[in-house]
Amino acid sequence: MVDVIEVSSRQKTIALAPKDGRRVDDVHWKGDDRILAALAPAGRGHADDEDGPPSRAGETLIAVDRDGGKAVTLEAGTAGASKAPQRLRLADSLARDPAHVLLAAVNGKGGVNLWKVDVHSGSVEAVRAGEEVHQDFAPGSMVVRYDHRAPSSDDFDVLGPVEGSGHKAYVSLQPRSPADGDTATLRIYDFDRKTFSDPLWQALPYDVSDVVYHEGDKALAGVCYTADTYVCDFKDAKLEADYKKAEAAFDDRAGLTPLSMSDDGRFWLFGVRSPTDPGAYYVYDRQRASMTLVANRHPDLTADRLAPMQAIRYRARDGMMIPAYLTRPPGAPSGKPLPLIVMPHGGPEARDSLDFDIWAEFFATRGYLVLQPNFRGSAGYGRKYAEAGYGQWGGKMDDDITDGVMHLIKSGQADKSRICIFGASFGGYAALYGGARTPELYKCVASFAGVADLNALVNWEHATKGHEGRYRYAVRSIGDPAKEAARLAAASPVTYASSYRPPVLLIHGADDTSVPVAQSKLMQAALRKAGKDVRLVIYPHEGHTDWTPTDEQAALTEIAAFIESHIDPAKPAA
């Protein structure tokens, strides 16, 4: 539901409470007294393919007064619209127009139509047809057209608009020469001239991932990035000092995300998360230096019920230092090796951080040590670290994961006789390949939407309409089947079915458009033909990510039971 909370009195008003099974997916203010809410179909998450225009059917946009009155369903026009249910998107909140917003809706030709809609009456006016709207950042900020993007747009991410500058945006640009340093820097991109400005911020040891605005004039206030936790730096010394004061209200493992600021700059809304805090919202009064809790995302998950996480570093076999995170079962006996679940992340150009991770907590609170390595190829640490993983599926990335396990065994933290590996997407691939390459290390393997055959995956990307950019990336980061088929086969888990030893559980969504369910079916068929222990569970109507809570819980419960049948969890200390 959507609650409006008066910070001073803590009085709460329910502005919107859907009764038809739909859930609130997104919320925005339209002025001081009107609210826009996006309602997703029951249990559904975001679209799988975020590289294209909006396509997921069934989302509803509602405008409502802050007290719950005068609700209006916002709809696009019908001219040129798709006959299928339309997936609407808030393309621009039109901050200078108090009565209207700009909506985007898929048309019948694969493009997107733009509509100007009155938030009070619901009346619709066509703006433009056929535009392929691409939104790289928070809805309601700006519209970016594909034909305005640079040919090398894989090198940068759009973070937000440059206010009052026409067709310009703040972007996080990957370094293009040694003079640019190693990490992604904040620049201004001119969509008309297709040029980048010089860096707007001093070099940082991590990739810039977001910007913060002054609320009143929308001027650039700061940049954000992930070190171990989420961190922001500010241009203004007073703002920087106040951010540090706000951070000081929490321990040093909490990440503070600036969400919005009052127009006068006095009040600051933060999202706060840590390994033992699944998320809360606080308002910081900069004048009084006071922090007020507004709402808890999961009030029943108190810190004493959750597992502590720590940042660690270990040395890979070639000398590279690998950052990782270790979550320890709460109440586990100290000084004793513990059963271990190795959980490599997806991507692989993604990363884990010192943050609340629902899967790590799920397994740690059931009695397992959980290792999450940011192996080479992970994002956030600069271009060299990310590109060190190119061509290393089945190579050094997997060595890094294995070396993390050996580090925990040698340091006496992990019980070498009780280790399983589980991951999703690339993590699922890493789990399957780890079971093939180091079968003596793992008592079981669980793969969630994992890759089994690299040649088949890259060829599928090539044959899939709309995946051209993903195909180019796959060739660069994985390899080219036309030239390297033998190498890719040698790095594919399915190749080793006849010699596979650990039992395998495969989980996949039938509607996955990132890693097709055919990948898990290939692995199941190969293992079954070889007489190996394998089970495949397919969830209808689920995609690659953002599963319904019911299906995600069922899948995790299935995985936990599978792991427990092969390695016993730790018992709490007496």
Section 298-313 average pLDDT: 92
Burial (CB count <10 Å: 0-12, 13-18, 19+), residue 5: middle
The DSSP letter of residue 148 is G
State in Å, rounded, how far the first CA of the chain is from the last one. 42
pLDDT in tens, 486-518: 999 999 999 999 999 999 999 999 999 999 999
Which 3-state string (H, E, C) describes 41-89?
CCCCCCCCCCCCCCCCCCCEEEEEECCCCCCEEECCCCCCECCCCCCCE
Section 527-531 average pLDDT: 97
pLDDT, position 177:
82
Section 358-363 average pLDDT: 95
In contact, 59 and 88? CB cutoff 8 Å: yes
Tokens standing for 460? 């599928």
Burial pattern 280-307, b for ≥16 Cβ within 10 A else e, equals: bbbbbbbeeeebeeeeeeeeebeeeebb
CA distance 269 to 258: 6
CA distance 233 to 210: 11
pLDDT, position 85:
45
- Whether the pLDDT of residue 42 is over 90: the answer is no
pLDDT, position 227:
94
Tokens standing for 145? 């057209």
- Whether the pLDDT of residue 223 is over 90: the answer is yes
The residue assigned the tokens 């994992």 is 450
Closest CA to 134 of 124, 115, 148, 152: 148
pLDDT, position 78:
54
pLDDT, position 440:
95
CA distance 293 to 312: 31
CA distance 279 to 302: 11
Which 3-state string (H, E, C) describes 443-510?
CEEEEECCCCCHHHHHHHHHHCCCCHHHHHHHHHHCCCHHHHHHHHHHCCHHHHHHHCCCCEEEEEEC
Residues near 8 by beta carbon (within 8 Å), at least 6 away in sequence: none
Q: Which of 184-188, 261-265, 307-311, 528-532 has the lowest mean pLDDT?
A: 261-265
The residue assigned the tokens 């994002």 is 379
pTM of the model: 0.85
SS3 of 182, please? coil
Section 57-63 average pLDDT: 73
What percentage of the chain has pLDDT greater than the value 90? 63
Domain with CATH 3.40.50.1820 in the chain: 309-453+492-564
pLDDT in tens, 371-392: 999 999 999 999 999 999 999 9
pLDDT band at 243 (very low <50, low <70, confident <90, very high): very high
Mean pLDDT of the chain: 87
CATH architecture of 309-453+492-564: 3-Layer(aba) Sandwich (3.40)
How distant, in Å, are the alpha carbons of 1, 131, 258, 406, 411 from that of 555?
Answer: 26, 39, 33, 28, 32
pLDDT in tens, 113-170: 888 999 999 998 888 766 554 443 344 444 554 444 444 446 888 898 887 777 889 9
- Whether the pLDDT of residue 83 is over 80: the answer is no
Q: What are the φ/ψ torsions at residue 528 (nearest 5 degrees)?
A: -65, -40
Does an H or E element contain 117, and which? Answer: strand 112-118
Residues near 146 by beta carbon (within 8 Å), at least 6 away in sequence: 132, 134
Tokens standing for 99? 């009565």
- Is the four-CA dihedral 140, 47, 547, 303 of positive or negative sign? negative
pLDDT, position 147:
43
- Whether the pLDDT of residue 433 is over 90: the answer is yes
pLDDT, position 164:
73
pLDDT, position 317:
96
CA distance 354 to 331: 20
In sequence order, the β-bridge partners of residue 281 are 271, 295
CA atoms within 13 A on the CB side of 249: 19
How distant, in Å, are the alpha carbons of 83, 130, 139, 176, 397 from that of 191?
Answer: 33, 19, 19, 19, 36
- Whether the pLDDT of residue 402 is over 80: the answer is yes
Closest CA to 478 of 515, 527, 521: 515
Closest CA to 546 of 449, 462, 475, 453: 449
